[in-house]
Amino acid sequence: MTAGVDEVGIAPLRERMRSALAERVGISRRKATMAVLLTGAFTVSFTITLLVVVLDTVAKDLNSTVTTVSWSITAPMLVFAVVGPAFGTLGDLFGHKRVFVFGLLGAGIFAGLAALATSAPMLIALRTLSAACGSAIGPAGMAFTSRLFEPEERVRPLGMWSFVTAGAPVLGVVAGVPLVATVGWRVIFLVQAPLCMLGALVAWWLLRDTEHQPGARFDLWGALTLGSGAALVLLGINRGSSWGWSSPFTVAALLAGVLLLYFFVQVERRVAAPMVPPKWFRTRNVAFPVISQSLANFGYMGAFMIVPQMLQQGAGLSLATVGWLIIARPLTFAVVAPLGAQVTMRTGERVAGMFGAMTVFTSLIILSSVRTETPLWLIAFGLALSGLGLGVSSPAMSALLANAVDDDQLGSASAMQQLVSQMGALLGATVMITVQEATSADGILPSYANSLVVGASVCVVAGLLASEVRSTVRTSA
């Protein structure tokens, strides 16, 4: 009788308890893994634009010029974009855990050396090497995220990932300015280096390596032509206003870049294991969300680069006031990231992408109307709308991409997304600054308004592209 009771009642209960415990442990490990991934992404991202507020100080300390030292921002952003796809392939070859850990470790080593830089070229070189290593975090982190969650679960973690990668540079400026003003600019890297080292140790201990892809091959010629071609195009656009758009240097950089990108397309059509498969750009839920996200980032990051100067030089606001106002954007992003995922799961990625792009459009239109008498609450509202828009659209577009490619291509796909999105950010900053400088004769505020209207126009195109995607998350009542 006792044996029968045990077999019928206790054994199934024990099995249910064991399953419940295993499920709870699994959830805890997922949360811990996501914490490590997000912390690593934040650590390598928050310094990208922080030097923008202290360029003059850095130039004086290193006996250089602001124009030269500005390459300590431009070069890392360029290399962060173009090196990512190579790390995506390396992750498929050797495991994304190794790529993530050694990328974080390398970023920390070069950041620590950057704190000791004695000249502008040395600072630029070390910052560029640190960013090159840090660019491994995106593809590896996205590969882990997509393996941890089923397609219908990915919107929420990708919302947090989008918040960290897009919000870290903004949060870095807001939080870092008081610290830099008090201690000095070298503290940026003295803080970043140990954080990277600690993150690498924790990641090595906690992360479970992904399976190696037996058919993966490193596309060397694809990596070289894509990296150098994209770098030259961005270099020509970035320096066009300084060198002159008809300058031989600008024209040569743009033509050489375009030619190398053409060779890249030809290489990818012929190799057995292309780094960026051409079929991706014939796939609705890859091409449209990636380009839409890039164009939304054009307006978002372009405004990030010019709005602080507009508020100080045009509206006459103090640096402290501008700092408090700018916080509205990352704070809104932080709130929207988890809530936006819930909205996307109900409405679908298509609606979320359209809503996000048009909300950034509305934000830029409001900011373009700023005058000296504009109330501060309206400026804060305009900035907050940018955070709202990108906080809703970025995770939705990322989820579409993750669900549209095979699991063994997630690292390469996210690296390609990182490249295109970063190019959008650089183009936005460069084009909008160029428009402002070209129309400065109209007045300070009108010239900034012109550049913001250009960014808003690009966001309209982003919304139209988002309308062409097909949602993979089912709507619910």
- 260 plus 336 within the same structural domain: no
- 113 plus 133 within the same structural domain: yes
- 316 plus 263 within the same structural domain: no
H-helix or E-strand spanning residue 406: none
In a domain, 429, yes or no: yes
- 128 plus 101 within the same structural domain: yes
- 288 plus 248 within the same structural domain: no
- 245 plus 304 within the same structural domain: no
In a domain, 213, yes or no: no
Q: Which domain holds residue 422?
A: 284-477
Q: What pLDDT is stored for residue 2 in this prediction?
A: 47
- 71 plus 187 within the same structural domain: yes
- 264 plus 288 within the same structural domain: no
Q: Is 25 helix (H, G, I), strand (E, B) or coil?
A: helix
Domain end: 177, 207, 237, which one?
207
Q: What pLDDT is stored for residue 47 in this prediction?
A: 76
pLDDT in tens, 294-308: 999 999 888 887 888
Low-confidence ranges of the chain (pLDDT < 50): 1-8, 18, 21-22, 475-477
Q: What pLDDT is stored for residue 152 in this prediction?
A: 65
- What is the C-alpha to C-alpha distance for residues 155 and 415, in angstroms, rounded to an integer? 18
Say what percent of the chain tops pLDDT 90.
24
- What is the C-alpha to C-alpha distance for residues 218 and 197, in angstroms, rounded to an integer? 27
- 369 plus 338 within the same structural domain: yes
Which positions ≥6 away from 72 have C-beta within 8 Å? 51, 58, 120, 123, 124, 127
Tally of domains within the chain: 3
- 431 plus 311 within the same structural domain: yes
- What's the pTM? 0.71
Residue written as token pair 């050694």: 102
Domain of 340, CATH number, reads 1.20.1250.20
Q: What pLDDT is stored for residue 218 in this prediction?
A: 67
Q: b/e for 122-141, b at 16 or more Cβ within 10 A?
A: ebbbbbbbbbbbbbbbbbbb
- 100 plus 194 within the same structural domain: yes
Q: What pLDDT is stored for residue 82 in this prediction?
A: 73
- 181 plus 145 within the same structural domain: yes
In a domain, 233, yes or no: yes
Q: What pLDDT is stored for residue 216 in this prediction?
A: 60
